[in-house]
Amino acid sequence: MEKNTDVDGIVPTNGTNPIISVGLIIDASEKSIDKWATQVKKFFELELAIEFPQFSWCINIIERHDFPKQIPRDPLVLLEFGSDLKIEYGFDFVLVLTCMPLKSRFEQGINAVPSSMLETAVVSFAKLAEEKNKDVARNAVISLLKHVLGHIWGLDHNEETVMKPRKFWSTKGPTDWNEKERKKVADFLKEVADPRLEETDKAARNVWHFYMQVIMHEVDTLIKDIFSGRSLLMMFHLGRFIAATAVSITFLFLSAEAWEIGAAIRSAWLDLVLLIVIIFATLSLYYGQNFHKLSRSDKMMEQAVRSRIVLFGTLLVGMFAFWTSLFLISCIIIYLLPDKVISGWAGLENETLSAIHYGKLMATFGILASAVGGNLEQEHDIKAVLVFTEET
């Protein structure tokens, strides 16, 4: 099944295999990167053709004069840059290549940062360039790229294959995927090779209708991408977010007014307020941290819409997961506090205190505070927590 792109020469006009296009984005002013990119195109295109002969692989080098210039290179900036170009040129995947060192946020001395959410990765050859043996360097590059693309294609770490995490890619280690991983990748790529929604006659012109079409067309993969370990744990990587929530919860527990409010609110209304608060907090983070500016496109394109849905969905699931943690902690604290003290604060006198009801109330107040705390975070830090698949 053939697919057109905006770049002449990326997609051949003949052949029957589904076509997968990969863009290699390089800095036109970076002297040594062109040689590396040429080698990657030559050897990696052949490697992928051997691994997945059921697809036609098209790898193209794109030189850009507007490449971000800061040193060390910020992977988040380059991921956003590459993601926009992926949509602009119509690539299926993009690798942003550089010979400059990368700025690390969670690990030390990183070689690459893949983002399965953006279907883009940043790869630095700064360490690999120190390897004198050309064959070793070439094998290290191929292994690193396989590892990075593996993550973009939905593979997890595996100690027995090329998906084994490591710091030094010039040393010996697994260099191939296993059969199970190849099958998983092949199934993933079959879906990628299908025509994009905007390339079909069924594409809606109305924005909201187009979003619903994308959701219905990719509901399974969207759910899989959203309900990941990253979405469930992402909030716990944000220091200011956690601090603002902890301080607010502490003052709420010591405030008689909060307990009186809880006594006055019926459980059914509290459930509705809870849902509204979580959606509000998610929207506050989504727009407050400029997540809506990721994967920009002037056109209605499936890739851009899909990325936005996954971004918002991941934030929403993360907020629900964080609320659940606050709820459980609140219930434990309420259980440990003396009943007479809490009843007095709430003005209940002889009535029974519902730990679940008050736990939901405190967790909901905590989410409101966390939305403010989340927007106190540095924009790039919270984006990195959400967008990075890993630093390797």
CATH topology (fold) of 19-193: Collagenase (Catalytic Domain) (3.40.390)
**Which residue(s) pair with 124 in the sheet?**
98
Per-residue pLDDT tens for 279-292?
988 888 888 777 77
Q: For the chain, give the number of residues.
A: 392
Residue spans of the chain under pLDDT 70: 1-15, 171, 198, 228-240, 256, 266, 295-300, 341, 343-353, 372-379
pLDDT value for 160: 93
pLDDT value for 67: 95
- Distance (Å, whole) CA 75 – CA 97: 11
pLDDT value for 4: 40
Intra-chain end-to-end CA distance of the chain, in Å = 34
Q: Quote the pTM value.
A: 0.81
**How far is the CA of 304 from the CAs of 118, 197, 277, 345, in angstroms?**
9, 11, 27, 51
Where along the chain do its domains lie? 19-193, 207-387
pLDDT value for 5: 39
pLDDT value for 2: 36
pLDDT value for 228: 67
Largest CA distance in the chain: 82
331 Cβ contact partners less than 8 Å away, ≥ 6 residues apart = 355, 356, 359
State the number of CA atoms in the 13 A half-sphere of 333 facing the CB.
17
25 Cβ contact partners less than 8 Å away, ≥ 6 residues apart = 62, 64, 67, 81, 82, 85, 94, 95, 96, 97
Counting DSSP H helices and E strands in the chain, the numbers are 15, 5
Helices (H), 206-266: 207-217, 219-226, 229-233, 239-253, 256-264
State the number of CA atoms in the 13 A half-sphere of 218 facing the CB.
23
- Distance (Å, whole) CA 153 – CA 191: 11
48 Cβ contact partners less than 8 Å away, ≥ 6 residues apart = 20, 55, 57
- The torsion angles phi and psi of 304, rounded to 5 degrees, stand at -65, -45
**How far is the CA of 19 from the CAs of 61, 196, 253, 328, in angstroms?**
17, 12, 59, 49
Per-residue pLDDT tens for 297-330?
555 677 778 888 888 888 898 888 888 888 888 8
Strands 19-27 and 93-98 turn out to be parallel
Residue 153 near residue 391, CB atoms below 8 Å: no
187 Cβ contact partners less than 8 Å away, ≥ 6 residues apart = none
Instruction: Please state the separation of Cα 199 from the chain's center in Å.
Output: 25
- The torsion angles phi and psi of 125, rounded to 5 degrees, stand at -100, 15
Residue 370 near residue 281, CB atoms below 8 Å: yes
- Distance (Å, whole) CA 117 – CA 348: 49
